[in-house]
Structure 1
Amino acid sequence: MDLQQKVKEVFPALSIGQKKVAKYLLVHSHTFAVTSAQKLGKDIGVSETTIIRFCYSLGLSGYAELQKLIRNQLIYESSSLNEYHSSKLEAASQPNFMAQVMGQDITSIEKTMKNLSNEDFSKTVDQLAAADNVLISGHRLSFSAAHWLTFTLRLVREEVHLYRPDTDDIFLLLNKMTENSVFVAISFHRYVKETVKITEMAKKAGAFVIGVTDSELAPIAEYTDILLPISTPRTSTIDTAPVLFSLLNSLVAGVSIKDEQGFKKRKAIYDAFNQDDYFF
């Protein structure tokens, strides 16, 4: 269903209160996706019943179905290669293409810095530093980030593992997790169902679940203890990479400071190796 088109079609026949709901929906659809009908009614200035009747006017079974419809549209229509290419064409029309593209990345990082909860970030660092075991998962675009986070975090603390679907048995990995373990799910549009399912399994196993994603409405959000959504002015998933790696780098830096003694111990181990045979 094209929700906006449907609202426009039924609008003339709506009551005054329902028209207020319709106008609000066309401008603030994201609010409908994350707000209860009761609270939404108070914000708009109508009764909860009016919102339910508005849903009926759209041919829906109720508010829950409207929320599901909006969430699906926000999630699955939010990213495209076309948007990525369009933004780069816009940059190409300006002097110094490289500076324009990197400037877009800087804007994304600044937006994430502003919107991300410092409390959630600090709690994430605390959990990653204190966990007896950290398991990290990501697929498609997210796999490279999951691999980088695993490698880098392993430099500053022990017991960090990457789930590799081609060689690992996820049931054995999850069986090793306890209430003192941390599971990190990295998931971006288009959201891979396996990542969502594994995140749900990790939650049921008792692990503390951290989600790194591009939207508060992402499917993994339901199973996370902390969600770290990054922000971009563009909807292209490719454009999330620079800010994603910047956020992951901040997390690793935070862990190295949080557990300074552990970091020094790891550093001493690396320094003790004879590396002449491997590096110039």
Structure 2
Amino acid sequence: MEILTVLKEKYPSMTKKQKQIADYMMAHPEQMTFITLKELSKAVDATEVTILKACSDFGYENFNEVKYEFRKYVSMQEQFEIHKENEYTSTAIPKYELEEREALLDAIRKEEKECVNHALAQLDLQKVIEAARIIMQGKRIVFCGRGFSVLMCKALQIWISTSGLPGIVMDTELNDEIHALLPLITEETVVVAFSFPDYYFMTTKIVEFSKKSGAKVIGITNVEESPIAEFSDVLLLAPSSTRLFMNNLSSPMAVLNLLASAVEIEVSASDRQMSADQSFTELFRQ
């Protein structure tokens, strides 16, 4: 049962203060996904103990469980909106297309090639270089995304690690992972965020949190209207939709390859690569 339904059902039996807390929660579902206990205490003019007691009376073990349920709720609402706007690419292949399967596959091959060529041709190389320099300057790098984006996070992490740059991947679908890695996001951090349809809300929230925390944000997405765009210091675009799949890896991976190459070029022009190689070599001399 979604959390708003739970709160509405329990509302008649709540105390006056609990109703005040529930009213705020139901009126601000998005804020509830990331609000701290201290912030909520101030917003509803109630002690932290009172809020924790209310969470228990609402049927949840702790405050983090309440936030988790709000994240599920907001995520579902955003997915409903995308379905209503018919933004999902259908994978149903019309029967007439299946009559000449080799011709269909050849057409898809050509579309893939054109998609990659278009992505690389429209890519602003100055932005790629700027992103590479930001990555180089970061004390730590956090790559975040969900689903297929996690695969891209890991690929870029591996490529960049060969240049001696530290990085860690955050799967924005994993609640425990988010809580474990959030403290790492400071003004010394570079966050590389991947967001493609259906634009998972938690990835957007992580990017917004990162921006407020003073971190530098590099956004990698498919369109300028992507939810992460407004929080990104540098935005790199890679069209991802094809006739069969909402998200295709061809173009995004081509863009990532170019970004990783730019990082390697910048590192090679500095003394950072040498120091990293020397540190690794020392492991075998001990």
TM-score, normalising length: structure 1: 0.60
What residue in structure 1 maps to residue 138 of structure 2? 131
Q: C-alpha distance in 1, partners of 2:220/2:90?
A: 21
The aligned counterpart of 2:88 is: 79
- The 2-side partners of 1:93 and 1:138 are apart by 37
Equivalent in the alignment of 1:256: 264
Aligned to 1:104: 111
Q: CA deviation at 1:79?
A: 3.2
Change (3 A) 1:267 1:103: farther
Question: Partner residue of 1:161?
Answer: 168
- State the number of aligned residues: 201
Q: Displacement, 1:153?
A: 1.6
Give the residue type in structure 1 aligned to 2:121. K
Tell me the distance in 2 between the aligned counterparts of 1:272 and 1:102.
47
Write the mapping of 1:51-90 to structure 2, written as runs, cut at 5 A.
Answer: 77-82=86-91, 85=93
TM-score, normalised on structure 2? 0.59
CA-CA distance at 1:185 after TM superposition: 0.8
Matched residues in 1 for 2:97 and 2:274: separation?
47
Please give the root-mean-square deviation of Cα atoms over the aligned residues, in Å: 3.3
Q: Which residue of 1 aligns with 2:61?
A: none
* Alpha-carbon distance change, 211 to 95 in structure 1, aligned in 2, over 3 angstroms: same
Partner residue in 1 for 2:234: 226
Q: Which residue of 1 aligns with 2:214?
A: 206
Residues 38-76 of structure 1 show CA distances to partners (whole Å, capped at 9, x for unaligned) of xxxxxxxxxxxxxxxxxxxxxxxxxxxxxxxxxx77995
Tell me: CA distance 1:190–1:237, structure 2 relative to 1, closer, same or farther (3 Å): farther
Q: Is the 8 A contact 1:186 1:212 kept in 2?
A: yes
- Counterparts of 1:93 and 1:272 in 2: how far apart (Å)? 60
Deviates more, 1:195-204 or 1:90-99: 90-99
Q: Are 1:76 and 1:189, in contact at CA under 8 Å, matched by a contact in 2?
A: no
CA distance in 2, matches of 1:200, 1:142: 18
Alpha-carbon shift at residue 115 of structure 1 (Å): 1.7
Residues 184 and 209, structure 1, Cα contact 8 Å, conserved in 2: yes
User: Aligned pair in 2 of structure 1 residues 160, 99: CA closer, same or farther (>3 Å)?
Assistant: same
User: Hey, what does 2:250 align to over in structure 1?
Assistant: 242
